[in-house]
A and B are shown apart, each in its own frame.
Chain A
């Protein structure tokens, strides 16, 4: 780690901030967005080489307020606005990572990250390899993604497959408040570049999580690692729903309804698409003998397709039915009033569960 001069605002001590956070945590549930915000603040505190920048992340605190208060607390050299140019943001972050910093940058929306694709695919992903490990790029590209929020065109894409298809990138996507915190901390501390997909429909979701405690666990190394470790979101025995990001909550609802109908569904949240946890997924499917992959992205040539292929390669002899998929349709993401027809729904998941050859 490089040493940098402290830019922390001396008027707000860490102790004060932590005490305030603690008080807040003990009494009320925490939003997914607040967990991300706290993870960023804690990373800025823990490591002087962490810098945050992007469009509107400074004074405004980001269009989703994920960087709220960071400039005021840590100063405008640690969290700052850039000109409006995504390739520029990613390209500058590459240079900063080459020179000892750990940039955490925000792409304002999924589809607005496309101008940066060359920088990401040709350089973020390949600099370590091109230099035989001499120029690692420890950086995080945060991307709010997916639908379910009534967003207009260019604001609802599920673009994870492009990045997952690119060797050299890690791809994380949390689905719970606790994971939002832990996975972002891990991503920032990773020696590899991480594309961090935040399901924007979850930003306002709340859970009873003590962030202060989580931070202590993470910093003392006691928190279980999330990278490459899928999570059993719900245990079950009849079939496995394999999913990630915004679709986890939909699968949990589907499992609840199915349980009322006497079907026990296991829900696996894969958490990190890259690296991928084949073992946990295969263990579940070998146990249940049936699997459905659920993801919001269009299904053709998708992460869901890859998961189906991996399941059948590993679990063929345990399968009682073909592995099926519930994904977005192969159409551009629809307008707000029509998105409900495209998104994987509880009904569509349950209909697909019905097709898993239960009679055979």
Chain B
């Protein structure tokens, strides 16, 4: 596609909103934020929106669905951290504090759409519909990802940073070549935006005009390194304009704002307007993993400050005030979350049923002669061990 064609496309989409291409691509001057930390709906002139950057509010039913997933997500994060402390799970990178982002990333998608999560996106994967024990397979020290990516349209949680963004681009590209209208949400963190594949993925997606939403959870830390040492850009969302795509900033602890922004992004992508970059401002409330000590690099006061902006309490207050969260609804939602937590406890309290010989089964479509020999050697050792 020629540069002119790109310019035409941007003009076409910016015309829809009655703004210039530059104003369409650059994020709104302020972060999109619909709810105050106490759950109050902000007045329209304080929501960060501006002409051309307006967002449909989610319906009450949609909000309740998202809230339910949020409560489950929080419960799962805390249950998993407890299982790690009890030695029932090898490692867990908790997304405590970021659950609203993850719920929105999964719920904005429709059937047939794909999600590309990272290792910290357990809650997004759960929300996409993957069974709880399947999601947690790799964290209990198994050798495989635990679920069938094609059954859920959800890629394996990526451990290397931003490599999966390019896979997301490829999935979208293949769908486009076949004339399918598939949207892909590709997730990464703030630290990951420094990786080369972040750049290559955004560039490829824009050049091929693919319906990919790059969703960055800026949780302020890459293990210990603060965001100020990752980027000197005015915001990560501003990076979009350099690739010829639109960027947006959103309060990552505001479920209502996230649902609004992501739903709009998915719609725009599906309509053929190319990729988008969404930066969600959130905070990693706990250490990087159980193996990390966050006291070495941040102050308790900073964590306390973010605790006051908690995403669960915020939307709960709103729903309460709006009369949506009836006692019955609250009880049902809590029961649902508890059931998932129980599934995880019960599952993790049983030892994984692993067969070392299976390590050779899926490396190739059929074993090489050399691997068959090695598998036989191990089988022989195992047999002698048992005898």
A residues lining the B interface (CB < 8 Å): 2, 4-5, 51, 77, 82-83, 85, 87-88, 90-101, 103, 115, 118-119, 122-123, 127-136, 167-168, 170, 190-192, 228, 274-276, 278-279
Once bound together, how far apart are the Cα atoms of A278 and B373, in whole Å? 12
Considering the complex, give the chain B residue whose CB is closest to the CB of A80. B208
Once bound together, how far apart are the Cα atoms of A127 and B196, in whole Å? 21
Once bound together, how far apart are the Cα atoms of A357 and B166, in whole Å? 55
Given known A95-B166, A131-B148, A132-B362, contact A88–B171 (CB-CB < 8 A): no
Task: Say yes or no: B149 contacts A95, CB within 8 Å.
Answer: no
A249 to chain B minimum Cβ distance, whole angstroms, is 27
Once bound together, how far apart are the Cα atoms of A115 and B145, in whole Å? 26
What are some 17 contacts across the A-B interface (CB < 8 A)? A83-B200, A83-B204, A83-B207, A88-B166, A90-B166, A91-B166, A91-B201, A95-B167, A96-B170, A97-B170, A98-B149, A101-B177, A118-B163, A123-B167, A129-B362, A275-B370, A276-B370
B residues lining the A interface (CB < 8 Å): 143-145, 148-150, 155-156, 160, 163, 165-175, 177-179, 196-197, 200-201, 203-204, 207, 361-365, 368-370
Considering the complex, give the chain A residue whose CB is closest to the CB of B116. A95
Which B residues are in CB contact (< 8 Å) with A115? 196
Which B residues are in CB contact (< 8 Å) with A278? 369-370
Task: Say yes or no: B362 contacts A99, CB within 8 Å.
Answer: no
Considering the complex, give the chain B residue whose CB is closest to the CB of A123. B163
Q: Which of A129, A132, A276 contacts B368 (CB 8 A)?
A: A276
Q: Which of B143, B178, B368 contacts A5 (CB 8 A)?
A: B178
Task: Say yes or no: A91 contacts B197, CB within 8 Å.
Answer: yes
Which A residues are in CB contact (< 8 Å) with B204? 82-83, 85, 88, 92
Task: Say yes or no: A191 contacts B171, CB within 8 Å.
Answer: no
Once bound together, how far apart are the Cα atoms of A94 and B153, in whole Å? 15
Task: Say yes or no: B365 contacts A135, CB within 8 Å.
Answer: no
Task: Say yes or no: A101 contacts B174, CB within 8 Å.
Answer: yes
Chain B binding surface SS class: helix
Specify which of A91, A94, A228 lies most central, judged by the most chain B CB atoms within 10 Å of its CB.
A91
Which A residues are in CB contact (< 8 Å) with B160? 118, 122-123
Q: Which of B166, B179, B364 contacts A128 (CB 8 A)?
A: B364
Task: Say yes or no: A274 contacts B368, CB within 8 Å.
Answer: yes
Given known A91-B169, A275-B370, contact A99–B174 (CB-CB < 8 A): yes
Considering the complex, give the chain A residue whose CB is closest to the CB of B212. A95
Which B residues are in CB contact (< 8 Å) with A83? 200, 203-204, 207
Which B residues are in CB contact (< 8 Å) with A95? 166-174
Task: Say yes or no: A133 contacts B370, CB within 8 Å.
Answer: no
Task: Say yes or no: B170 contacts A92, CB within 8 Å.
Answer: yes
Which A residues are in CB contact (< 8 Å) with B143? 129
Which B residues are in CB contact (< 8 Å) with A136? 365
Once bound together, how far apart are the Cα atoms of A132 and B137, in whole Å? 12
